[in-house]
Structure 1
Amino acid sequence: MHSAVEVIRAKRDGLRLSDEQIDWVIDAYTRGDVADEQMSALAMAVLLRGMTREETARWTAAMVASGETLALGGVGRPTVDKHSTGGVGDKITLPLTPLVAACGAAVPQLSGRGLGHTGGTLDKLESIPGWRANLSADEIRDRLRDVGGVVCAATEGLAPADRKLYALRDVTGTVESVPLIASSIMSKKIAEGVESLVLDVKCGSGAFMKDLDQARELATALVGIGDANGLRISALITDMSAPLGRAAGNALEVAESVEVLRGGGPPDVVELTVALAREMLDRAGVSDVDPAEVLADGRAYDVWCRMISAQGGDPEAELPQAAHVETVTAPASGALTRLDAYAVGLAAWRLGAGRARKEDSVDHAAGVLCLVKPGERVTEGQPLLELRTDRPDTLAGAREALAGAYDISGADVEPTPLILDKVTADR
């Protein structure tokens, strides 16, 4: 018979937890037999002592086993998903899901809401009139069979242990533990029941992982867990030092995603969408279609319209428009050499695009438009950024967040590559 104190002591002393200890403590915590203060102590021990790849994989499997899994075997297509670790202007799920569906795979994109400076996919889509985030497991399967793609909230029964532990980590200073981050992400993805998964691990000022070594550590942990749990999995490490695309904010990002699906949009959004689509199709074993062609010829946009309509939304409806718009102008002429992603995300959050607490509402029209991106030239007095909000009292805070967020130089600069590295199970 195991006890919480025994498991805490073992990890405190740097020992490897046995499979039985991990299974017991996750199950007992989910049932309420292990108290929050005991799990807090164990989470801190994991943060300080770490876990092996095998421990982390077993911890993840135990969290999956704490609830239900989606059975997706009957949807008639290979199933594949994408997960991003979050960033500023990261609307890639919106064009990517219908694109991969249009190429012949099924994409069950169970997404979340934003907190702090990173946006949430569900918040973005809820700026579309009538669109519904909450679907039952049967509705998810129906949408995958009929449309090929679905973006929705996770059902309550998926990985309940993660839901409890995530809330605990947030208030106990244990968020930064790579094994706990990796197992949190992967438990929900494995519980989805997909066969393949591609990860977009962000790296830079606007990401959780600030440098390439940190990002590689997380990507390696995530891929290791997925591989140990039978997923065909890989990870791209991508740059998040500057915002992705030109829009940061819910309705603004939906509008930009629609531009991409109609064959236009910012080159970096198009590049990453196509790169992730190729990787997803490769993992899913779909090799006879070029996602770049499917994006350019409108087939992905057709699936987008069907996908939005299938969840009660009107893809033709006008999106919310901000009542107040203020422009930030360039203080000098030259090339924009830096536009800090975190600062732009913080400004968008202060304008109302994000939330400080999970229960807060968001202003769907609020956000920041980046009229100039790093590498582009600007003249003194030219509009650089556009601040949008329904609450004019938020503009001063947004301006403050952007102070020192950009540099302009007389010399041209080479833009940073968007895709920095790739991690697979054999690396």
Structure 2
Amino acid sequence: MLVVPLIERKRDGRALTPEEWSALVAAYTDGRVPDYQMSALLMAVLLRGLERQELAALTDAMLASGQRLSFDSWPTPRVDKHSTGGVGDKVSLVLAPLVAACGVAVPMMSGRGLGHTGGTLDKLEAIPGFRTGLSLAEAKAQVLKLGCAMIGQTPEIAPADRRIYALRDVTGTVEAIPLIAASIMSKKLAEGLNALVLDVKRGSGAFLPRLEQSLELARTMIALGEDRGCPTVALLTAMDRPLGRACGNALETEEAIVALRGEGPEDLLEVTYALGAEMLLAAGIEKTSKRARQRLANALASGLAAEKFEQVIEAQGGNPKVVEDPSVLPQAKEVEVYAAPRTGVVAKVEPKTIGRAVVAMGGGRRKVEDEVDPTVGFVITVKPGDKVLAGEPIASVFARDPGGMKLGFEALQQAIVVGDKLTEKPLPLISHRVTTHGVEELKR
């Protein structure tokens, strides 16, 4: 096909037809369009944007490039959650089994670490033996049996997205909101969902830090979901500090297990409850947020959520004993305590610095083929606004060697700022609820 005229039209701010997008995506997926031409088109999209009809056509073409999960007439409601990514964001590990324990099926497809943000798959694979690479048939069978599967993107799901995403990563087009939305929704719409809940991060540790960017992304994904018969709602949550205390794969998995017992950090539990309530409401399991939150709390307190996680772990080849005994997780070779450098108030805990340090210490990837060390990372026990004394322990560093320990201490010195007072008010943990009807400011 002739691609240059399409690139020129998009460069000049004019729309391509749905038929052109469909043909272009199909041709790129099977290798008939070279990377350099698709790169030029992606940059044009970044600079010029997409009209709603174009975005719909691109998403549909990416979705149509692969297979879709189908549950036919199975009556159990199916709802998933997607996060745009953050530091310390282990919510999915708590949320999926918790919501499944409340009677909603959760066919959760997740990703690996990206940039400074951690990935759900890497956290799950910190559990000895846990297999995230299920086929679609295996995932469907497990959802039908247990009500939950936690898998990675399979080769069968949106292969066009896999190719386009890899190209975006090396062409400076990751931040294009239409491309982010199409990438996320082409995968989520392949899961056979009745509804979708989005956790859109904002703040310095998010990929799109500004409020207006987060709102635009939320609205864009909601429109894509609603137009395809998948009711979609988004919560905007804070990523101007790490979520919870643990940052690093095995450490976050352990914290998630603690949270499944109802004992986790308050901010982690609050975000989990808020997203879980939206999932129960979307599924029609409960009619009010208050009743939904109570059902979630009961599932934690009764042990049903922890039991569901055990079942999922065992079904996917992992060691289920980890839920009762987190010491089954791999342990760091070196652990040292980091103390407050002075008496004062914690003014900042910068998540991006922490996330990048985890990667540098071996807990993330700089290249796709890199091995991840699940043991390294941080446990940070202070939040902005906390008062501390000089010499008081405020964090721990988990490293595999002295070099990693040095990197960890240097990162904490940069990320945790202790001053005389709080200089900038932290973002509300959950600031906005976005639906097809509009934006509601929450400030909680």
Q: 2:297 aligns with which of 292, 300, 306?
A: 292
Partner in structure 1 of residue 191 of structure 2: 192
SS at match of 1:403: helix
Flag the 1:411–1:13 CA change in 2: closer, same or farther, 3 A: closer
**Once the two structures are superposed, what CA deviation does each residue of 1:154-202 show, in whole Å capped at 9, x if it has no partner?**
2211111111111111111111211111101111111122121111011
Give the C-alpha shift of residue 210 in structure 1.
1.1
8 Å contact from structure 1 (residues 88, 206) kept in 2: yes
1:308 counterpart = 2:313 = yes
Query: Which amino acid is 1:421 matched to?
Result: H
Q: 2:435 aligns with which of 402, 421, 424?
A: 424
Query: How does 1:124-139 map onto structure 2 within 5 Å?
Result: 124-139=123-138
Q: What TM-score does the superposition give when structure 1 sets the normalisation length?
A: 0.96
Query: How does 1:224-235 map onto structure 2 within 5 Å?
Result: 224-235=223-234
Q: Distance in 2 between matches of 1:230 and 1:178?
A: 22
Partner in structure 2 of residue 408 of structure 1: 418
Give the C-alpha shift of residue 3 in structure 1.
2.3
Partner in structure 1 of residue 245 of structure 2: 246
SS at match of 2:414: coil
Q: What TM-score does the superposition give when structure 2 sets the normalisation length?
A: 0.92
Partner in structure 2 of residue 343 of structure 1: 353
Give the C-alpha shift of residue 363 in structure 1.
0.8
Partner in structure 2 of residue 178 of structure 1: 177
Q: Distance in 2 between matches of 1:100 and 1:73?
A: 21
Give the C-alpha shift of residue 344 in structure 1.
1.3
Query: Which amino acid is 1:141 matched to?
Result: K
**Which of 406-415 and 389-398 deviates more?**
406-415
Query: Which amino acid is 1:129 matched to?
Result: P
Partner in structure 2 of residue 271 of structure 1: 270
SS at match of 1:316: helix
Give the C-alpha shift of residue 263 in structure 1.
1.5
Partner in structure 1 of residue 387 of structure 2: 377
Q: Distance in 2 between matches of 1:151 and 1:39?
A: 32
Query: Which amino acid is 2:437 matched to?
Result: D
8 Å contact from structure 1 (residues 57, 229) kept in 2: no
Q: Distance in 2 between matches of 1:338 and 1:412?
A: 8
SS at match of 1:397: helix
SS at match of 1:194: coil
**Once the two structures are superposed, what CA deviation does each residue of 1:294-331 show, in whole Å capped at 9, x if it has no partner?**
22322111111111111111121411111111222101
Structure 1: gaps (5+ residues): none
Query: Which amino acid is 1:313 matched to?
Result: G
SS at match of 2:250: helix
Q: Distance in 1 between matches of 2:90 and 2:265?
A: 12
8 Å contact from structure 1 (residues 75, 141) kept in 2: no
Query: Which amino acid is 1:145 matched to?
Result: L
Q: Distance in 2 between matches of 1:417 and 1:175?
A: 26
Q: Distance in 1 between matches of 2:6 and 2:368?
A: 31
Structure 2: gaps (5+ residues): 323-327, 439-444
**Which of 379-388 and 286-295 deviates more?**
286-295
Partner in structure 2 of residue 140 of structure 1: 139
8 Å contact from structure 2 (residues 105, 148) kept in 1: yes
Q: Distance in 2 between matches of 1:426 and 1:297?
A: 36
SS at match of 1:387: strand
Partner in structure 1 of residue 342 of structure 2: 332
Query: Which amino acid is 2:180 matched to?
Result: I
1:109 counterpart = 2:120 = no
8 Å contact from structure 1 (residues 133, 151) kept in 2: yes
Flag the 1:19–1:109 CA change in 2: closer, same or farther, 3 A: same
Give the C-alpha shift of residue 228 in structure 1.
1.6
